[in-house]
Copies of this chain bind each other. A is one copy, B any other.
Amino acid sequence: MNDTSKIERTVYLVSDGTGITVETFSNAVLSQFDKAYFQQIHLPFIDSIEKAQKSVIIINKNALETGYPPIIFSTLVNQEIMTLLKNSNCIFLDLFGTFVNHIEKAIGQKSNNSIGRSHMVSDSEKYRNRIDAINFCLAHDDGQFVNQLDKADVILIGISRCGKTPTSLYLAMQYAIKAANFPLTPDDFERNMLPSTIVPYKDKLFGLSIHPERLSEVRNERRPNSKYATIEQCRYEVMASEKMMRREGISWLSTTTKSIEEISTTVLQEIGLSRTLA
């Protein structure tokens, strides 16, 4: 690293909507650099000339104070607003412009220049499906409610604290997928049978597992010094559940080093569910 690496650069995330697209993109691009080097500041809902002018004041002030023009990641669409921002003391990166032009050329059609569409309730049926999926997921968390499992898109199974709940919620929230989850317990392993409740839905089952050491850590946070959290108990449950899933021919993965996003992406691929942002 050279000297400039010690200087922090400000990155403004400017959007006419929620700024979630620009935030996701900026996070991905900046992860190609030393992230500690950047300070990201959000300027969402910049949908008027007045708000744009206020933003320009903030940006120019930052340039003066830091001695460097800040970087702007923009998903603005309105040309007038964009021009104002571009003329501030900054390095302006227009995330949409280049690609919209390429697509216009490719398909021989003009874009409609509409602002902030991607996280708005433009399609209320789609939006209702998403809320329904979240409610379904909450009602069917941890096998609480076993009616309507036939309506589930997927049923995640696995031992306590292997990651079923966060994954189900993510699937519901991002993709409007009705994800139920159902625990595998020591009782099931003694009987050496899948819980009878979920047997009729075998084609919807997907298993999660986890490394015993990691599981013991997680369980110890929840119930310190319990038998439930001992490494012996964790080893037994992990081994028994993986054996059961293998025997029953149920696809499964280990969540130990995976994020909710990685687990969800794999579940969708394996179950063959279509993936459309909700």
The chain A residues found within 8 Å of chain B, CB to CB, are 1-2, 4-5, 9, 17-21, 23-25, 27-34, 37, 40, 42, 44-45, 69, 71, 73, 75, 77, 91, 93, 95-96, 98-100, 102-103, 106-109, 111-114, 117-121, 127, 130-131, 134-135, 138, 141, 165-166, 169-170, 173-174, 257-262, 264-266, 269, 275-277
CB distance from A196 to the nearest CB of B (A): 27
Contact A32 B96 (CB under 8 A): yes
Please name 19 pairs of A and B residues whose Cβ atoms are closer than 8 Å in the assembled complex, sorted by A: A18-B261, A19-B265, A23-B275, A23-B277, A28-B96, A32-B77, A32-B113, A32-B117, A33-B103, A33-B111, A34-B112, A37-B107, A93-B99, A93-B102, A93-B103, A119-B259, A120-B259, A121-B258, A130-B260
Contact status of A138 and B117, CB under 8 A, knowing A23-B277, A95-B99 = no
Query: In the complex, which of the residues B29, B108, B118 contacts A96, with contact meaning CB atoms closer than 8 Å?
Result: B29
Q: How many copies does the complex hold?
A: 2
Which of A1, A71, A130, A259 is packed against the most chain B CB atoms within 10 Å?
A259
CB distance from A277 to the nearest CB of B (A): 5
In the bound complex, CA of A95 to CA of B9 (Å): 22
Which single residue of chain B is at the shortest CB-CB distance from A141?
Answer: B138
Contact B75 A28 (CB under 8 A): yes
